[in-house]
Amino acid sequence: MQPLKFEPLLKSTLWGGNKIIPFKHISSNQQQVGESWEISGVKGSETIVAEGALKGKSLNEIVSEMKGSLVGTENYERFGNEFPLLIKFIDARQDLSIQVHPSDEIARRQGKHRGKTEMWYIMKSDEGAKLYSGLKREITPEEYKELVENDTICDALAQYEVSEGDVFFLPAGRIHAIGTGCFLAEIQQTSDVTYRIYDFKRKDKDGNYRELHTKEAAESIDYRVEKDYRTHYEAQNNMGVSVVECPYFSTAVYNIDEPMTIDYSELDSFVILIGISGEGNVTDNEGNTTSLNAGETLLIPATTQTIQVTGTLRFLETYV
């Protein structure tokens, strides 16, 4: 089976900007595009295969048909017909709400199917763009509720000015928010459970305040404090550099300027490649060649043994 590309699902949002459409080199008049869902098995928002023999089929359809051949034997036993990862590009013209996601255990206790752990890779963002990740001082659940009510919750959060190449890992329970001017790639569990903690007193298009989930969030927050929430790594040319290893996904960053072969023969998983900058091609061991340029995302089936990547390209590699 050849690598698969999907039609992106463009999501207009209250806070969306204008970076995603030109970044992906697509034609669209859609306004305020805050998110491009690149690979998604979320019910009601499934991505559709864009080309090849499977064109027109949803991701969930091909998981059901191909099973372990697509996602890997152990992944299929673990997740069944639900694809385990959701891949997005996000462009914030305004601050997103302060939010948190529950763990799997807490989500099930709250009547949800699954929690959400995720990561961000920062792309070319506006100068001075910032985000929130984690608590900078200890607070209690009671104090948390007071801070929300008093509009001072941001005072308790660690804030970071970001630049291209920065990585932030966001395990379930970590308070976070994407700030104005941030442009990033997001890798996450397949889950749409988000608890909004604070929304800067903004109103929607109908003049209403957006719903807050103060109680559910209080139950989900990890109140531990860390010294630094940024992931530190050193990029290397023509090799993969691991940035995240967790039970839900493993992610590496590649910067290539010469042909490179990547061996997946011992890996029992699909692989997703996310083009960050530059342009190149991916050729699998069966001779199928597919472009991988900035703004493109490829799903490599679990049956693929090796790929060769050529061009001048920065990309993320992620799998379960």
* pLDDT at res. 221: 96
Of the pLDDT bands very low, low, confident and very high (cuts 50, 70, 90), residue 211 is confident
Lowest mean pLDDT across 18-27, 174-183, 207-216, 258-267: 207-216
User: What is the mean predicted confidence (pLDDT) over 129-152?
Assistant: 95
Provide the 3-class DSSP secondary structure of residue 209.
strand
* pLDDT at res. 204: 75
Beta bridge partners of 170: 118
Q: Return the sign of the alpha-carbon dihedral for residues 151, 17, 136, 172.
A: positive
**pLDDT higher at 113 or 236:** 236
Helix intervals (H) in the chain: 20-24, 59-66, 68-71, 73-79, 104-109, 141-149, 214-220
Tell me the per-residue pLDDT of 219-236, one tens digit each, with 9 for 90 and over: 999 999 999 999 999 999
Tell me the per-residue pLDDT of 67-112, one tens digit each, with 9 for 90 and over: 999 999 999 999 999 999 999 999 999 999 999 999 999 999 999 8
Of the pLDDT bands very low, low, confident and very high (cuts 50, 70, 90), residue 146 is very high
pLDDT surpasses 90 at 136: yes
| Structural tokens at position 145 | 């509720």
Q: Return the sign of the alpha-carbon dihedral for residues 83, 120, 38, 296.
A: negative
CB 54 within 8 A of CB 72: no
Of the pLDDT bands very low, low, confident and very high (cuts 50, 70, 90), residue 40 is very high
